[in-house]
Structure 1
Amino acid sequence: MTYDICVVGSGAGASPIAYILAKAGAKVVVLEKGPWLTEDDFYKDELAANIRDSYNPKLSDEQHVIEEGHVEDDGQTHWHKEATSESDWSFWNGNVVGGSSNFMSGYFHRLKPVDFKLKSTFGDIEGANIVDWPISYDELEPFYAQVDKQVGVSGKVVEHPYQEPRSADFPYPPLIDHPVAQWIDTAAEKLGFHSIPVPRAILSRPDMGRQSCEYSGYCSRYGCSSGAKGSGRAALLNHAVATGNLTIIPNAKVFHLASDDSGAVTAAHYYDQAGRKQLVNARTFVVACQAVETSRLLLQSKSKFFPNGLANNNGQVGKNLVFSGGGTGRGDFIFSDLTPEQQQALKSDGPFLNRALQDWYQIDDKTFNGANKAGKAKGGTIDFLFFRNPISRASGSQYDEDGALVWGEALKKNLFEEFTSYKTLRFEVFNDWLPTDDCFVELDDEVTDKWGDPVAKIRIGAHEQDVLVGEYLAEKGAQLLEKMGAKNISTSVSQYPPTNLMAGGCRFGNDPKTSVLNKYCRAHESNNLYVTDGSFMPTGGSVPHTYTIYANAFRVAEHIKQKWQGD
Structure 2
Amino acid sequence: MPDGEASGAHGGFRRALPTLRAAVDRIIPGDAWPAGWDGGVGAYLTDPGPAHRDLAWARPLLSSLAERLDDAASADGSAGFASLTATRQDELLAGESGSAGFEALRRVCWEGYYAAADGRTPAGLDMVGYRPVPPGVETVDPSMPVTVAPREVAARYDAVIVGSGPGGGVAAQVLTEAGRRVLLVERAPMLPNSALRGDHLHGKRNAVYWPSAGPGAGHPRLIQAGDHDEVVDGTGDAGLYGLNADALGGGTRLWQGMSWRFLPEDFSMATGYGNPDGASLADWPVGYDEMEPHYTRAEWELGVAGEEGALTRRTPRSAGYPMPAMGTEPARELLSRAAERLGWGWGPIPLAINSVPREGRAACVRCPQCVGHACPVDAKNGAHNTFIARAVASGGCDVLMDAEVVEVRDGAAGASVAIMADASSQPVSLTIGADVVIVAAGAVETPRLLLASGIGNDQVGRHLHDHRFTTVVGTVDEPVKPFVGPGHSVATLDHVHASSIPWGGGVLVDLMGLLPLTSAMAPADEGVPAWGAGHKQWMREGRAHVFGVFGMGQEIPMPSSRVTLASQVRDRWGRPAAALRKNVHAASRLVEDGMAVQAERWLDAAGVRGIRRLAGPATASAAGEHSCGTMRMGDSPETSATDAGGRVHGARRVYVCDSSLHPTNGSVNPTLTIVANAFRVSQRLVEEWPR
For the aligned pair, the TM-score class normalised by the smaller chain equals: 0.7 to 0.9
Q: In structure 2, how many angstroms separate the alpha carbons of the residues matched to 1:350 and 1:511?
A: 45
Q: 1:543 aligns with which of 660, 663, 668?
A: 668
CA contact (8 A) 2:549 2:603 kept: no
Q: In structure 1, how many angstroms separate the alpha carbons of the residues matched to 2:615 and 2:592?
A: 6
Gaps of 5+ in 2: 1-154
| Residues 42-121 of structure 1 aligned to structure 2 (within 5 Å) | 42-49=196-203, 50-51=206-207, 52=209, 53-58=211-216, 60-69=217-226, 79-85=227-233, 88=237, 89-121=240-272
CA contact (8 A) 2:258 2:349 kept: yes
Residue in 2 that maps onto 1:306:
none
Q: In structure 2, how many angstroms separate the alpha carbons of the residues matched to 1:68 and 1:42?
A: 31
Residue in 2 that maps onto 1:75:
none
Q: 1:471 aligns with which of 563, 569, 593?
A: 593
1:292 aligns with 2:444: yes
Residue identity opposite 1:149 in structure 2 = W
Q: In structure 2, how many angstroms separate the alpha carbons of the residues matched to 1:492 and 1:501?
A: 21
1:191 aligns with 2:342: yes
Find the residue that maps to 1:44 and give its secondary structure. Answer: coil
1:267 aligns with 2:417: yes
| Residues 336-485 of structure 1 aligned to structure 2 (within 5 Å) | 337-338=477-478, 343=479, 346-347=481-482, 349-350=484-485, 352-364=487-499, 377-395=503-521, 406=532, 410=533, 414-421=535-542, 422-485=544-607
Gaps of 5+ in 1: 70-78, 302-308, 371-376
Find the residue that maps to 2:629 and give its secondary structure. Answer: strand
Q: 1:501 aligns with which of 621, 626, 630?
A: 626
CA contact (8 A) 1:10 1:98 kept: yes
Find the residue that maps to 2:262 and give its secondary structure. Answer: coil
CA contact (8 A) 1:183 1:484 kept: yes
Residue identity opposite 2:492 in structure 1 = L
Taking a change above 3 Å as real, the CA distance of residues 160 and 280 of structure 1, as seen in their structure-2 partners, is: closer
**Displacement of 1:364 after TM fit?**
1.8
**Displacement of 1:231 after TM fit?**
1.0
Residue in 2 that maps onto 1:32:
186
**Displacement of 1:223 after TM fit?**
1.1
Deviation digits for residues 540-565 of structure 1 (CA, Å, limit 9, x no counterpart) = 1111111110110111121122234x
Q: In structure 1, how many angstroms separate the alpha carbons of the residues matched to 2:351 and 2:417?
A: 38
Residue in 2 that maps onto 1:74:
none
Residue identity opposite 1:218 in structure 2 = Q
Q: In structure 1, how many angstroms separate the alpha carbons of the residues matched to 2:281 and 2:291?
A: 20
**Displacement of 1:238 after TM fit?**
1.3
Q: 1:122 aligns with which of 273, 293, 296?
A: 273
Residue identity opposite 1:61 in structure 2 = G
Taking a change above 3 Å as real, the CA distance of residues 465 and 402 of structure 1, as seen in their structure-2 partners, is: closer
1:514 aligns with 2:639: yes
Find the residue that maps to 2:676 and give its secondary structure. Answer: helix
Q: In structure 2, how many angstroms separate the alpha carbons of the residues matched to 1:396 and 1:251?
A: 36
Taking a change above 3 Å as real, the CA distance of residues 405 and 382 of structure 1, as seen in their structure-2 partners, is: closer
1:281 aligns with 2:433: yes
Q: In structure 1, how many angstroms separate the alpha carbons of the residues matched to 2:301 and 2:311?
A: 26
Taking a change above 3 Å as real, the CA distance of residues 478 and 263 of structure 1, as seen in their structure-2 partners, is: farther
Q: In structure 2, how many angstroms separate the alpha carbons of the residues matched to 1:513 and 1:524?
A: 10
Residue in 2 that maps onto 1:76:
none
Residue in 1 that maps onto 2:175:
21
Comparing both chains, which one has the higher relative contact order based on Cα–Cα distances under 8 Å and sequence gaps of 6 or more?
A: 1
CA contact (8 A) 1:462 1:495 kept: no
Residue in 1 that maps onto 2:301:
150
CA contact (8 A) 2:186 2:401 kept: yes
**Displacement of 1:205 after TM fit?**
1.4
CA contact (8 A) 1:6 1:28 kept: yes
Deviation digits for residues 323-376 of structure 1 (CA, Å, limit 9, x no counterpart) = 11232222222xxx44xxxx5x654634645211111111325xx7x5xxxxxx
Residue in 2 that maps onto 1:327:
470
**Displacement of 1:516 after TM fit?**
1.2
CA contact (8 A) 1:263 1:526 kept: no
**Displacement of 1:425 after TM fit?**
2.2
CA contact (8 A) 2:370 2:487 kept: no
Residue in 2 that maps onto 1:73:
none
Q: In structure 1, how many angstroms separate the alpha carbons of the residues matched to 2:528 and 2:612?
A: 22
CA contact (8 A) 1:178 1:353 kept: no
CA contact (8 A) 1:9 1:289 kept: yes
Find the residue that maps to 2:673 and give its secondary structure. Answer: helix
Taking a change above 3 Å as real, the CA distance of residues 504 and 263 of structure 1, as seen in their structure-2 partners, is: farther
CA contact (8 A) 2:293 2:318 kept: yes
Deviation digits for residues 73-97 of structure 1 (CA, Å, limit 9, x no counterpart) = xxxxxx3221124984222511111
Q: In structure 2, how many angstroms separate the alpha carbons of the residues matched to 1:360 and 1:420?
A: 34
Residue in 1 that maps onto 2:656:
531
CA contact (8 A) 1:195 1:357 kept: yes
Deviation digits for residues 350-408 of structure 1 (CA, Å, limit 9, x no counterpart) = 4645211111111325xx7x5xxxxxx421111213223112222268xx9798754xx
| Residues 160-239 of structure 1 aligned to structure 2 (within 5 Å) | 163-239=314-390
Taking a change above 3 Å as real, the CA distance of residues 358 and 92 of structure 1, as seen in their structure-2 partners, is: closer
CA contact (8 A) 1:439 1:461 kept: yes
Q: In structure 1, how many angstroms separate the alpha carbons of the residues matched to 2:413 and 2:585?
A: 35
Taking a change above 3 Å as real, the CA distance of residues 549 and 191 of structure 1, as seen in their structure-2 partners, is: same
Q: 2:455 aligns with which of 296, 310, 325?
A: 310
1:254 aligns with 2:375: no
**Displacement of 1:227 after TM fit?**
2.1
**Displacement of 1:170 after TM fit?**
0.7
Residue identity opposite 2:456 in structure 1 = A
Deviation digits for residues 18-44 of structure 1 (CA, Å, limit 9, x no counterpart) = 011122321111000002234454433
Q: In structure 2, how many angstroms separate the alpha carbons of the residues matched to 1:347 and 1:491?
A: 21
Structure with more of its chain in helix, by fraction: 2
Deviation digits for residues 187-219 of structure 1 (CA, Å, limit 9, x no counterpart) = 111112222221001111122232221211211
**Displacement of 1:67 after TM fit?**
1.2
Which has the larger Rg? 2
Find the residue that maps to 1:233 and give its secondary structure. Answer: coil
Taking a change above 3 Å as real, the CA distance of residues 522 and 189 of structure 1, as seen in their structure-2 partners, is: same
CA contact (8 A) 1:68 1:460 kept: yes
Q: In structure 1, how many angstroms separate the alpha carbons of the residues matched to 2:231 and 2:529?
A: 30
Q: In structure 2, how many angstroms separate the alpha carbons of the residues matched to 1:493 and 1:463?
A: 18
Q: In structure 2, how many angstroms separate the alpha carbons of the residues matched to 1:236 and 1:243?
A: 11
Residue identity opposite 2:187 in structure 1 = K
Q: In structure 1, how many angstroms separate the alpha carbons of the residues matched to 2:369 and 2:497?
A: 33
Q: In structure 2, how many angstroms separate the alpha carbons of the residues matched to 1:99 and 1:289?
A: 9
Q: In structure 2, how many angstroms separate the alpha carbons of the residues matched to 1:405 and 1:477?
A: 30
**Displacement of 1:432 after TM fit?**
1.6
Taking a change above 3 Å as real, the CA distance of residues 27 and 537 of structure 1, as seen in their structure-2 partners, is: same
Q: In structure 2, how many angstroms separate the alpha carbons of the residues matched to 1:99 and 1:148?
A: 18
Compute the RMSD of aligned alpha carbons.
2.4
Structure with more of its chain in strand, by fraction: 1
Residue identity opposite 2:639 in structure 1 = T
Find the residue that maps to 1:37 and give its secondary structure. Answer: coil
Residue identity opposite 1:21 in structure 2 = L
Taking a change above 3 Å as real, the CA distance of residues 80 and 209 of structure 1, as seen in their structure-2 partners, is: same
TM-score, length basis structure 1: 0.87
